[in-house]
Amino acid sequence: MDQSLQQQTYGSTSVATAAERNRVLRNTYWLLALSMIPTVLGAWLGVATGIARAMTPGIGLIVFLGGAFGFMFAIEKFKNSAAGVPILLGFTFFMGVMLSRLLGVVLGLSNGASLVMTAFAGTGIIFFGMATLSSVVKRDLSGMAKFMFIGMVLIFVAAIANVFLQSSALMVTIAVVAIAVFSFFILHDLKRVAEGEETNYITATLGVYLSIYNVFQSLLALLGIFGGEE
């Protein structure tokens, strides 16, 4: 093959790969922003109706686990079809309803609205910080991801246990560790998209959304415990 033609061919492949990465990353950010709308609507509905708070902790846990894993299974199954996006948005609405239990408790405090805004701002700072780092960090994070995954599983188990234990100390510990672990996963997942390791923007959005959700929830819980005013 002629050398100039070979360079053009390889150059086109490189450009196409970069363009594909940028497309997936752009679609991930757009869908992530869009997913916040049903989350807010679900949270508003949940607070207004008190549907989540009306459930006992045990029933709430069953509904949450059944709904969350059901939606995630459906998202994975339809991630390459037109149904993937509506299912993902339905999932974020459901997660908003589930979040309303904690929101209702915090909003019941005299400074509840400011605590919610502080948690929102803190989550935004963490997200934009991790998004920026994802574009500059060159280190392979896969090794750390394995340890963080173990941490995530431990958080999940401890959170389920605390539904029945109702320990404030354990709740604080879970929240602090969750902020660290899920902040890392925001960085890790966005870096995978930027490097072309994740090529499905629906899957990418789901992962980042769950991390943001858990960071916000954990920040809100900490603020409610330490900054709440009756």
* pLDDT surpasses 60 at 222: yes
Could you tell me the pTM of the whole model? 0.90
Query: Which pLDDT belongs to residue 14?
Result: 40
Give residue 6's pLDDT band: very low, low, confident or very high (50, 70, 90).
very low
Note whether 118 and 67 are within 8 A (CB). Answer: no
Note whether 91 and 187 are within 8 A (CB). Answer: no
* pLDDT surpasses 50 at 129: yes
Give residue 58's pLDDT band: very low, low, confident or very high (50, 70, 90).
confident
Alpha carbon of residue 66 to chain centroid? 18
Query: Which pLDDT belongs to residue 142?
Result: 81
Note whether 131 and 185 are within 8 A (CB). Answer: no
- Per DSSP, the residues of 77-117 read HTTTSTTHHHHHHHHHHHHHHHHHHHHHHHHTSTTHHHHHH
Note whether 217 and 102 are within 8 A (CB). Answer: yes
* pLDDT surpasses 70 at 83: yes
Q: What is the mean pLDDT of the chain?
A: 89
Note whether 55 and 109 are within 8 A (CB). Answer: no
Helix and strand counts by DSSP (H, E) for the chain: 7, 0
